[in-house]
Structure 1
Amino acid sequence: MLLAARRRLAVDNRQHEDPDVSKDKRPRSFPDIKRYAPLLAVIVVFWVLFFGIGRQSEEARPNDSARTLSSGCSGDGALPAAISLADFDFPPLLQASLLAPFSADDAVTLGERSRTFFSLHRKLRVLDQHLSSRVDSTPVSVREQFDRFQDFMGRFERLLFPWLRSPIAKLYSQLQRTPKTRGIVITAGNAQVRLTMVAIQSIRGTGCDLPIEIYHVGPTDLSMANRGRLQSLGNGYDLVVRDLLQDLGGNEFHDGGSWAAKPFAALLSSFSEVLLQDSDVTWVGSPFMAFDDPVYRKTGTLFYYDRRALEPIVKTPTRETALKLLPAHYRDGTLPTYLIQNAIVGNTSQHNMESGVVLIDKSRLEHLYGLLGVCKLNSRRERDFFYRFFWGDKETFWLGWEMAGSGGLYGFSQWPAGQLGILVRGDQDQTEAVSSGVYQTVITEPPADPRILRLCSLQLAHVDGTGKRLLWYNGGVVRNKFRADSTPMSPTHWALEAINSRWTIDKENIACLHMSPQSGLTVGDEGNPVESEIFDLSGLEDEGDALPVAIEWDEKVVFDSVEEWWRESGRRLKMAKLREKVSKHRHNGDEAFPEELSQFRAKDSKRLAIPKDAVIVNHIP
């Protein structure tokens, strides 16, 4: 508008110039003001409105200092808008109460203290990042108060996690700086070497090439020879064996590894996305399918259910102990929906989670905190108490997330636990049928009901994200791991647990999931499944709605391979032990071969292509 007015004034000047006067000496002439009065009025009004309103808005708008003070922050913007100095100003008495030692059986204090720590640690991270980017502009008073808060949090962290050699902030920073990686973590000791060898072969047999880290707890937990045997299954890069004691402080595993080592191995592994599995897990489908599960993609975790229809309870110390670890308002009865569905909290079973396979994305802060909570429950002092109420480590995973204040951020599989095994009639001996394949009719009083159909084994099965295909199972690969001469199992069916399912379990821990009478199957005297007409169900107890699913041909190929892996691993371990005996004999100056080695060589020399007079050296196969 101003530019247009100037142009019109310039044109008018040119029109009023005197043509008789030279350019250099032309007198100036002025435009007719009346002619342009409306235009000038518009310009003046526009000027007043624009600059007047702008000045008023500047006066009305509070300055930065007012804004930060109104939110409780320092006037120079030294703190994030959502945090004030009061958030990290802890009086000495409050600090002393939070740093006071407490007994391992005080579950209420453990839960509350842990949630307080992780809540403060979240603020510490935000403050640290904010102040690090404003080193020059941060007031000295703010920096000093932050340093005092950081010192307090360091002492708080050492109280709860004395075994950590690196601060939590450093662990998380490393996960954020490095590219995301996926891998499989297994904990194993000398007693689990053969199972671990089969587990590794089952992983590779599915075509999965994810790197594997095997953790043990010191040289007494896994010997040098057994470490070498496990490493021989890799190519030098895709499988490594690591000692937890090299990365942990304190004396957490004076009594060996056991279940407690598992969460520590997941925490200290080099992978940001971890698939943690037991040594007795066998894969039917690929572990990649677990990472592709919709629950994992959504939450960054994947937990699997245990047999939730087994051992129904009304109120036991197990539930009471779990509730003590939860927030106080949960203990008062105000439970979120996801916890009402939890079998332990919801009072429907003593079992909720099965920890044979657990997936965790540690690069998400809430999951790193949750995993630290699990490690706390499996620490030496705490596990001596909590293992009295929970079966090892399995329930400590979801409880660890609750302790970390990350409740509801973890995810369980959409599908219940399943059973993998063989069908057994109600009047047949389940123990002998599973352990030796012999189907004996039992004579009981009152007589057992032959209409009952059960799916029996020691193996617990889990399915993929679709719920239609077997993915993995645990409990070992043999019929009965409690019998030394047990052979690999040859399952015929699998089934998923239903809400109203019925389980029975014998003295050798062989579990039977009762099938629905509507399955249309029964079992012959030799153990062969046969189709049957629907029985007269009068007088029959409610057997539940579980239905058997026959093993597919490609799954049968996997079980045949497992049988071969089991035999081969046994042969390799036996040969290795005999070689060690030879080495010991020669070290003692005895050139004679042990008798069992001679027998072994005579039996297997053709298959192994070892001449009878060959010199056997003590090397790791």
Structure 2
Amino acid sequence: MIEMEWRPRPHAWRRRRAVALRLVAGALLIWLFYANFADQFHAERREALTVAHGRPVKPDAVMEDVAHAIPAPARHDPQAESPQTPLQAPQISVTGGEVTDTDSIRSNTQLESALREVISLLPDEALLRDLLRPIERTGEEKLRELGLRTRSFKKHFAAWEALHLVVEGSNVYARNDIVRTIRQDPRIATALQMDVTQVLHAYEAYRAFITRFAMLLFPWTMPYFSDHISLHAEFHHGGKGLVFCAGDNHAPFLLTSIPSIRRLGCNLPIEVMYLGDGDLSQDFRAKLEAMPGVVTRDVSQMVTDRGWKLAGWAGKPWAILFSSFREAMFIDADALFFQNPENLFDHPSYRATGALFFRDRFMMPESKKKWMQQILPRPISKKATESRFWTGDSGHMQESGVVVVDKWVHYVALLLVARMNGPDRDGNAAAGRVGVYDMVYGDKETFWLGWELVGDTDYAFHQGDAATMGTLEPQRAPEEQSSENPNQEERPTQYTICAPQLLHLDEDGKPLWFNGWLLANKYSGKKNEPARFETYIQEPREVRDPGAWQLHSDNICCLTAENAANFTEQEKDTLAWISEAGYRAGAFGGKKV
């Protein structure tokens, strides 16, 4: 028999303490388990949302086409808050040791709406074949076909973007967890009256379609951005900025104009876009970037131009597109300002539309009505039928020395304009190919026409008059009254200025900016001093016979009209300062005499 050692029974308070310690330890283990589980689950959900190139883009407004997914402000105010509820990223939280997913449910309800739109737009086999077939036409037929296809792409891309772009706090994300979310939450398929397999197949069919459609129409952005949503999201919160294009020949112009713009009070960031080392040398890039707020960027690294060559005028829309700004003001290298260019972002027409263009000289009557009827899809807008091209008042509508665009709002229109100045730009008579530049003069008309082709009529032309500037030619006396008609109204005195400069006035008739640099003739070879600018003449607003403008060699235009005015002392001071800056920059090829 084994004898058991007798031990005294512990006091009651010791037993209670042991039980309490066991309960506390158990509760702590349970809490740690649920906390760890929730953290892992939350991290997994957040990893499903990505931003293009890993960089979050903060929203301040959005494009109308994706308004049902992201808050869209009124067009007149890109910074406005939106009353609409954005598609929010799901948030997982721990409350009382339990994981709650109410935000995820709310988010997936919004996802259902976006998915429903995508599925409803999925083209059938016949439409799919029509939209994705190669565009083999040329000239007017090709422009019209591009307009029709791009209008369809705009609608389909907007729905696809609405499904993927998500607002989380102050960031915009492109989510890549759609398939997993559909699979893990069968309520989505139930709400769509489909099973999970059907929803997944429809989603993947649309993904294949929109990818092929984008590659057919706009494949040239791919080396820098993986897809068009990434490019679009990149500049969503890019703010405002100025964009220039320059090579070595025009770099001295920018070394003159940028300081003059700063002097007028404009402190916006500036990006100078160029096309490789052979275009803008390292020395000039260093000089430009030595100025505060100026960065140079090589567009040639961002565009695939295999089979065609990006160069010259054609670089303008590409520079705007690839600039980092959301609201971009493109300015020609030889354009100069009397007033702060930043004010154009507050112009009522820009705030109402998000796209502000300037009119060219009112010269050379030519009807392009039939041509416009050939290229523009129906219905043709009122703005198109009121244009000079349609009425025949002039074969020149737009002057592209300054272009102001909200790229978020007009993204697809800008993609088409870039294409018109890219692979479709040049013709080839031997191959029977008619290019865009065979039908219009350079890039300048492609902006408003590109907007019209896409069906985007939210653009405006600045209503200030065009003018010229320089010194008056010998004055022409007014015509004598006819003796047969003594009551004939005496015609006012006519003034003439011959110059290459095109001056744009504000709506009050004051000089705003001008194109054409400072020389009296930049083709003469005599570049050692600027022209004399004493007076400007406003062009008449009606068609005259003979025309008020007469074009001569070396792009010299003579304007004869009655509305002449002298520059104010302040305007003369601005011109004098610009000239001095030009000498310092070596823009006149020599030192001031």
Match for 1:504 among 550, 568, 576? 550
Matching residue of 2:438: 388
Matching residue of 2:376: 326
SS in 2 for 1:472: strand
- Retained in 2: the 8 A contact 1:295–1:414? no
Instruction: Supply the distance in 2 between the matched residues of 1:381 and 1:420 (Cα, whole angstroms).
Output: 36
1:9-88 superposed matches below 5 A: 78-80=112-114, 83=117, 85-88=119-122
Matching residue of 2:535: 493
Matching residue of 1:107: 143
> Deviations for 1:303-332, whole angstroms, at most 9, x for unmatched residues?
000012x100135xxx544443311343xx
Q: CA separation of 1:76/1:571 partners in 2, compared to 1, >3 Å: closer, same or farther? A: closer
Q: CA separation of 1:186/1:132 partners in 2, compared to 1, >3 Å: closer, same or farther? A: same
Question: Does residue 221 of the first structure (1) align with residue 279 of the second (2)?
Answer: yes
> Deviations for 1:139-197, whole angstroms, at most 9, x for unmatched residues?
22123202211211111101111211222212222333x3x411110001122122222
Matching residue of 1:123: 159
Matching residue of 1:154: 211
Q: CA deviation at 1:240?
A: 0.9
> Deviations for 1:324-349, whole angstroms, at most 9, x for unmatched residues?
3311343xxxxx33222211123221
> Deviations for 1:278-314, whole angstroms, at most 9, x for unmatched residues?
1000111111221221111221121000012x10013
Q: CA separation of 1:138/1:469 partners in 2, compared to 1, >3 Å: closer, same or farther? A: same
- Retained in 2: the 8 A contact 1:493–1:548? yes
- Retained in 2: the 8 A contact 1:417–1:497? yes
Q: CA deviation at 1:253?
A: 6.2
Q: CA deviation at 1:239?
A: 0.5
Matching residue of 2:565: 549
Instruction: Supply the distance in 2 between the matched residues of 1:77 and 1:476 (Cα, whole angstroms).
Output: 53
Matching residue of 1:65: none
Q: CA separation of 1:77/1:421 partners in 2, compared to 1, >3 Å: closer, same or farther? A: closer
Matching residue of 2:576: 560
Q: CA separation of 1:129/1:508 partners in 2, compared to 1, >3 Å: closer, same or farther? A: closer
Instruction: Supply the distance in 2 between the matched residues of 1:203 and 1:76 (Cα, whole angstroms).
Output: 46
> Deviations for 1:208-253, whole angstroms, at most 9, x for unmatched residues?
1111111111111122222223223x13xx1011100122223376
Q: Look up the equivalent residue of 1:311 and give its one-letter code.
A: M
Matching residue of 2:518: 477
Q: Look up the equivalent residue of 1:468 and give its one-letter code.
A: G
Q: CA deviation at 1:123?
A: 2.4
Matching residue of 2:231: 171
Q: Look up the equivalent residue of 1:415 and give its one-letter code.
A: G
Instruction: Supply the distance in 2 between the matched residues of 1:214 and 1:100 (Cα, whole angstroms).
Output: 38
Instruction: Supply the distance in 1 between the matched residues of 2:115 and 2:216 (Cα, whole angstroms).
Output: 31
SS in 1 for 2:553: coil
Instruction: Supply the distance in 1 between the matched residues of 2:589 and 2:470 (Cα, whole angstroms).
Output: 27
Q: CA deviation at 1:257?
A: 2.3
SS in 2 for 1:499: coil
Q: CA deviation at 1:258?
A: 0.6
Question: Does residue 419 of the first structure (1) align with residue 468 of the second (2)?
Answer: yes
> Deviations for 1:571-600, whole angstroms, at most 9, x for unmatched residues?
8977xxxxxxxxxxxxxxxxxxxxxxxxx9
- Retained in 1: the 8 A contact 2:387–2:397? yes
1:430-445 superposed matches below 5 A: none
- Retained in 1: the 8 A contact 2:465–2:509? no
Q: Look up the equivalent residue of 1:155 and give its one-letter code.
A: R
SS in 2 for 1:138: helix
Q: Look up the equivalent residue of 1:248 and give its one-letter code.
A: V
SS in 1 for 2:204: helix
Q: CA separation of 1:227/1:323 partners in 2, compared to 1, >3 Å: closer, same or farther? A: farther
Question: Does residue 245 of the first structure (1) align with residue 310 of the second (2)?
Answer: no
Question: Does residue 410 of the first structure (1) align with residue 464 of the second (2)?
Answer: no
SS in 1 for 2:473: strand
Q: CA separation of 1:230/1:416 partners in 2, compared to 1, >3 Å: closer, same or farther? A: same
Match for 2:364 among 285, 290, 311? 311
Instruction: Supply the distance in 1 between the matched residues of 2:255 and 2:520 (Cα, whole angstroms).
Output: 18
TM-score (norm 2): 0.68
Instruction: Supply the distance in 2 between the matched residues of 1:556 and 1:342 (Cα, whole angstroms).
Output: 35
Question: Does residue 374 of the first structure (1) align with residue 417 of the second (2)?
Answer: yes
1:252-267 superposed matches below 5 A: 254=309, 257-267=311-321
- Retained in 2: the 8 A contact 1:276–1:358? yes
Q: CA deviation at 1:474?
A: 0.6
Matching residue of 1:96: 129
SS in 1 for 2:462: coil
Instruction: Supply the distance in 1 between the matched residues of 2:110 and 2:532 (Cα, whole angstroms).
Output: 72
Matching residue of 1:300: 354
After TM superposition, the structure 1 stretch with the greater mean CA deviation from structure 2, 104-113 or 149-158, is 104-113
Q: CA deviation at 1:79?
A: 3.7
Instruction: Supply the distance in 2 between the matched residues of 1:76 and 1:114 (Cα, whole angstroms).
Output: 27
Q: CA deviation at 1:363?
A: 2.6
- Bigger Rg over Cα: 1
Matching residue of 2:14: none
Q: CA separation of 1:76/1:269 partners in 2, compared to 1, >3 Å: closer, same or farther? A: closer
Instruction: Supply the distance in 1 between the matched residues of 2:465 and 2:492 (Cα, whole angstroms).
Output: 27
TM-score (norm 1): 0.65
Q: CA separation of 1:162/1:320 partners in 2, compared to 1, >3 Å: closer, same or farther? A: farther
Matching residue of 1:270: 324
After TM superposition, the structure 1 stretch with the greater mean CA deviation from structure 2, 127-136 or 100-109, is 127-136
Match for 1:287 among 337, 341, 352? 341
Instruction: Supply the distance in 1 between the matched residues of 2:336 and 2:251 (Cα, whole angstroms).
Output: 14
SS in 1 for 2:156: helix
Q: CA separation of 1:307/1:191 partners in 2, compared to 1, >3 Å: closer, same or farther? A: same
SS in 1 for 2:444: coil
Q: CA separation of 1:451/1:286 partners in 2, compared to 1, >3 Å: closer, same or farther? A: closer
Matching residue of 2:23: none
- Retained in 2: the 8 A contact 1:198–1:282? no
Q: Look up the equivalent residue of 1:497 and give its one-letter code.
A: E
**5+ long unaligned stretches in structure 2:** 1-108, 167-176, 190-195, 428-434, 478-490
> Deviations for 1:330-387, whole angstroms, at most 9, x for unmatched residues?
3xxxxx33222211123221000000000011132xx112211211111133344111
- Retained in 2: the 8 A contact 1:196–1:279? yes
- Retained in 2: the 8 A contact 1:231–1:239? yes
> Deviations for 1:54-97, whole angstroms, at most 9, x for unmatched residues?
xxxxxxxxxxxxxxxxxxxxx99934598373421431x43222
> Deviations for 1:530-578, whole angstroms, at most 9, x for unmatched residues?
xxxxxxxxxxxxxxxxx1121010000011112212222228977xxxx
CA RMSD of aligned residues (A): 2.9
**5+ long unaligned stretches in structure 1:** 1-74, 331-335, 429-448, 517-546, 575-599, 605-621
Taking CA–CA contacts closer than 8 Å with sequence separation of 6 or more, which of the two structures ends up with the larger relative contact order?
2
Instruction: Supply the distance in 1 between the matched residues of 2:275 and 2:475 (Cα, whole angstroms).
Output: 44
Instruction: Supply the distance in 2 between the matched residues of 1:297 and 1:132 (Cα, whole angstroms).
Output: 35
